[in-house]
Structure 1
Amino acid sequence: MGWHIEGTYFENCNCDSICPCATSGLTAPADYERCQVELAFHVDTGEINGIQVGGLTVCLIGDAPQQMSDGGWKIGVLMDAAASPEQAEALGSVFGGQAGGPMAGLAPLIGEMVGMESHEINYSDDGRRHRIQVGDAVNVDVEDFVSPLDPTELGVRVSGIGFPADTLAAGTGTTATVDVFGMEWDNAGKNSFSAPFAWAA
């Protein structure tokens, strides 16, 4: 049985601006010695092996070497407490890469899955500002860049990315704290990307 999910996503990492890892297909090094990143995915609609998963959110927390293509990533998964055990298992298989799809291509780079925890997750996205609160573990608020020189006010976009979508809106974190799975950082003022996403396998 196949699966498909659609929704919105955003991420925030400790690169200064327009993360070179994402824009180079992981061939360029991050701005600092370690890449510290959180990625939030809100599923608006979706079905995984017959299980409906719309309305649920998953947050991935990652710590990787400066050259991300070297592998050895540490990844933790924060699952929406609103998910039933069946929904959590289904979403875990997609975001862990076992069900195929975009995450399967990254799975060989993961050296350690540090755990999965269930938390109440509050996610909001107004198209320009994106926020996630995961208990006391994650508090991230990012805003897309809009150039004062751009009369369209559409915002800065980077295309040809591929993962998790082809075109990402670039921005910056206004609040960006993480303290979970032994990983702790504050990425306020650092890079963010956001986009609608649609995955299937």
Structure 2
Amino acid sequence: MAIDWSIEATTFGNCNCDYNCPCQFELRPTQGHCRGFEVGRIERGHFGEVQLDGLCYALTYAWPGAVFEGNGSMQAIIDQNADEQQRQALITVLHGGETEEAKTHWWVFHAMSSTVHEPLFKLFEFEVDIEGRTARVSISGVLESTGRPIISPATGDEHRVRIDFPAGIEFDIAEIGSASTQAKGAVPLDLNDSYGQFNMVRHSGTGVVHKRA
């Protein structure tokens, strides 16, 4: 790697799996294929001398089978407020560039995608409460998404579950909820009350920076 970079971001994602997302447990996707997206707001980040604080990004993705089987498609969406240097920096890291092999989920997603669509530059509205398991996302003309807590059918109460991933390539701990997404970019999405994920991402070119909660 020639360029030092790191990103700490508050993130939310939604895929078509059931709430337990078998992919997180090295099992096949609920429906046999994978479609979804993630969005993040960078709290602290840099790519070399380029500062990335405050910018948003998203990835939409789809695979005909499990992610590790490849032949997927993906598209990066970058905050239109980013200048040219910031845009190129975010495209690079979201496409797995300047990253050690298989050390981040962005690297894996890109490596497992035979079709990588040209990035979009859009206006983001993004609100998320990780512990509360709520989120609202609007990416101008491309994507709308909401997240909420899982509601127990037995009691009607909010049901709280977390995934703890000490050696994962995406997160340490993620809160799990329910999410719905509509997207009409190069990777269309029509998801309704499926797996929702609320977490921090701490990535660098050498992999995930693990911090215990």
TM-score range (shorter-chain normalised) is 0.7 to 0.9
Q: Does 1:135 align with 2:148?
A: no
Q: What secondary structure does 2:115 align onto? A: strand
State which of 160, 167, 172 in structure 2 corresponds to 1:155.
160
Aligned residues of 2:135 and 2:146 also touching (Cα < 8 A): yes
Give the 5 Å matches for 1:6-155.
6-24=8-26, 28-100=27-99, 102=104, 103-127=106-130, 128=132, 129-145=134-150, 155=160
Gaps spanning 5+ residues in structure 2: where?
206-213
Q: Give the Cα separation in 2 of the matches to 1:192 and 1:165.
A: 14
Q: Which moved more, 1:83-92 or 1:163-172?
A: 163-172
Aligned residues of 1:48 and 1:90 also touching (Cα < 8 A): yes
Aligned residues of 1:12 and 1:176 also touching (Cα < 8 A): yes
Aligned residues of 1:147 and 1:155 also touching (Cα < 8 A): no
Amino acid at match of 1:112: T
State which of 168, 177, 181 in structure 2 corresponds to 1:176.
181
Aligned residues of 1:17 and 1:172 also touching (Cα < 8 A): yes
Amino acid at match of 2:195: N
Q: Give the Cα separation in 2 of the matches to 1:186 and 1:110.
A: 20
Q: How far apart are 1:147 and its partner, in Å?
A: 6.6
Q: Give the Cα separation in 2 of the matches to 1:86 and 1:109.
A: 26
Q: How far apart are 1:92 and its partner, in Å?
A: 0.8
State which of 4, 7, 10 in structure 2 corresponds to 1:5.
7
Show structure 1 runs of 4+ deviating over 6 A: 146-149
2:195 corresponding residue in structure 1 = 191
Q: Give the Cα separation in 2 of the matches to 1:93 and 1:156.
A: 33
CA distances 1:25-55 after superposition (whole Å, capped 9, x unpaired): xxx2111143110111210111111100010
Q: What secondary structure does 1:190 align onto? A: strand
Q: How far apart are 1:186 and its partner, in Å?
A: 1.7
Q: Give the Cα separation in 2 of the matches to 1:143 and 1:189.
A: 9
Q: What secondary structure does 2:192 align onto? A: coil
Amino acid at match of 1:8: T
Q: Give the Cα separation in 1 of the matches to 2:112 and 2:7.
A: 23
Q: Give the Cα separation in 1 of the matches to 2:176 and 2:117.
A: 29
1:165 corresponding residue in structure 2 = 171
Q: What secondary structure does 1:188 align onto? A: strand
Amino acid at match of 1:164: E
TM-score by length of 1: 0.88
Gaps spanning 5+ residues in structure 1: where?
none
Q: Give the Cα separation in 2 of the matches to 1:65 and 1:33.
A: 8
Q: Given the superposition, is the C-alpha separation of residues 117 and 98 from structure 1 closer, same or farther in structure 2, using an over 3 Å criterion?
A: same
Q: How far apart are 1:197 and its partner, in Å?
A: 1.6
Aligned residues: 193
Q: How far apart are 1:148 and its partner, in Å?
A: 10
Could you say what the CA RMSD is over the residues aligned between the two structures, in angstroms?
2.1
